[in-house]
Amino acid sequence: MVKKISMLLLVALLALPLFASGDAENDGRTVVGLSFSDFATERWPREQALLTQLGQESGAQVISQVANQDAKLQNDQIENLIVQGADVIVVIAQDGGTAATAVDIAASEGIPVIAYDRLIKTSNLALYISFNNVAVGRAQAEGILKVQDSGNFVLLGGSPTDNNAYLFRQGQMEVLNPLIDSGQITIVADQWVENWDAANAVTLMENILTATNNNVDAVVASNDGTALGALQALRAQGLAGNVPISGQDATVAGAQSIVDGELTLSVYKDIRLLAPKTMEFAIQLANGDEISDTVDYTLAELTLDENASGSIASFFFPVVQVTEDNLYDVVVASGFQPYDDVYRNVPESQRPPRP
């Protein structure tokens, strides 16, 4: 026990919070820990701000850490949140396998952990809250098929350590498989983009274009960041805007690219619904209350791995495919992305009315 506490203290010293909202002393308020994989994707810092604000509005103290895509550091930071007295911890996992160790430790100390957006592979989770990720993949492939339903297709998957990447791929393949089987579509490249890093996507796409002699008819990419990376490589070959490509997240840059006619589609996931529902569950779990509205899924179903055992209380929000046809209504008029940013490259006279 003493050894364990001193180990935890050591971890606490090594992994001092990069920033904390409120002081770390426990003044009787509920302490909510947030553990982010990274702030490289546009959505995560936004959700960090949102979750912090929501937690504080519920009277909680919120402590937040970011692991810069280092799965081991993230585990240290989660243990550090335990040392700091977290009553509940919300984790956006860098690696759904590695993070299971930290979740198991928290659970053994009676601290509930919520897997936010990305699954962590342990049935010791108190909750998994996310979007319908298989539907994201379906929306990506369907959006591409609407404009290009034959020829040479490239699959650009997400980070191989992110369970979502496989769920997106599952949805994509449900839609593409019949056309692959009939020979209408040929998969000429099938890659995963480590860390969801846009720079990696540029290099991968450059290599694919070289290997295929630019003979690519469509790219099923799994989020806006990697799609925009691939678009950079396509643009260098004069192919941007001619080769359909999918994204996800309805980021500012992604929405701009749709308006500019380069990105074919994105998938809108309203984090303004996900964050409040998460904080509501987090406070209930911290108070030891029962949570409702969840559905139990087996880890085998959630990981697509039939050997995984156990089940997890889960909650999923729906997703919306975004193309140039509905971008204004879904992304701009709803206030998700700012009008001025989305239409930055469009002359004032050709812009839709300001919402």
Question: Does residue 249 bind ligand BGC (CB under 6 A)?
Answer: yes
Whose Cβ is closer to ligand BGC: residue 140's or residue 152's?
Answer: 140
- Secondary structure of residue 268 in the 3-state scheme: strand
Question: Does residue 118 bind ligand BGC (CB under 6 A)?
Answer: yes
Give the nearest residue (CB) to ligand BGC.
Answer: 41
Question: Does residue 223 bind ligand BGC (CB under 6 A)?
Answer: yes
Which listed residue (47, 79, 162, 262) binds ligand BGC by CB under 6 A?
A: 162
Whose Cβ is closer to ligand BGC: residue 77's or residue 130's?
Answer: 130
Burial 96-127 (b: 16+ CB within 10 A, else e): bebbbbbbebbbeeebbbbbbbbbbbbebbbb
Among 157-165, 213-221, 304-312, 320-328, the segment contacting ligand BGC (CB under 6 A)? 157-165
Among 121-129, 158-166, 207-215, 331-339, the segment contacting ligand BGC (CB under 6 A)? 158-166
Whose Cβ is closer to ligand BGC: residue 166's or residue 281's?
Answer: 166
Show Cβ contacts of residue 84 under 8 Å, excluding neighbours closer than 6 positions: 12, 17, 24, 31, 33, 63
Among 248, 231, 92, 111, which residue's Cα sits nearest to residue 162?
92
Query: For 287-352, where are the alpha helices, taking DSSP H only?
Result: 299-303, 327, 339-342
Whose Cβ is closer to ligand BGC: residue 248's or residue 264's?
Answer: 248
**Which run of H or of E encompasses 324?**
none
Bridge partners of 36, per DSSP, are 66
Contact (Cβ atoms closer than 8 angstroms) between residue 149 and residue 112: no
How many residues belong to the site for ligand BGC (CB under 6 A)?
A: 11
CA-to-CA distance for 141 and 136, rounded, in angstroms? 9
Whose Cβ is closer to ligand BGC: residue 82's or residue 227's?
Answer: 227
Whose Cβ is closer to ligand BGC: residue 78's or residue 136's?
Answer: 136
> 60 — phi, psi (to 5°)?
-95, 160
CA distances to 37, 240, 250, 331, 345 from 260, in Å: 31, 10, 14, 15, 7
Question: Does residue 196 bind ligand BGC (CB under 6 A)?
Answer: yes
Question: Does residue 117 bind ligand BGC (CB under 6 A)?
Answer: yes
Min dist. Cβ of residue 37 to ligand BGC (A): 7
Whose Cβ is closer to ligand BGC: residue 156's or residue 185's?
Answer: 156
Contact (Cβ atoms closer than 8 angstroms) between residue 65 and residue 94: no
**Which run of H or of E encompasses 213?**
none
Binding to ligand BGC (CB under 6 A) within 56-75 occurs at none
Which listed residue (41, 61, 94, 161) binds ligand BGC by CB under 6 A?
A: 41
Question: Does residue 121 bind ligand BGC (CB under 6 A)?
Answer: no
Question: Does residue 164 bind ligand BGC (CB under 6 A)?
Answer: yes
Left if phi > 0, otherwise alpha if psi is -120 to 50, otherwise beta: which for 68? left
Question: Does residue 257 bind ligand BGC (CB under 6 A)?
Answer: no
Min dist. Cβ of residue 131 to ligand BGC (A): 7
Question: Does residue 197 bind ligand BGC (CB under 6 A)?
Answer: no
Whose Cβ is closer to ligand BGC: residue 94's or residue 152's?
Answer: 94
Q: Positive or negative CA dihedral for 132, 135, 136, 137?
A: positive
**DSSP state, 289?**
P
Which parts of this chain interact with ligand BGC (CB under 6 A)? 41, 43, 117-118, 158, 162, 164, 196, 223, 248-249
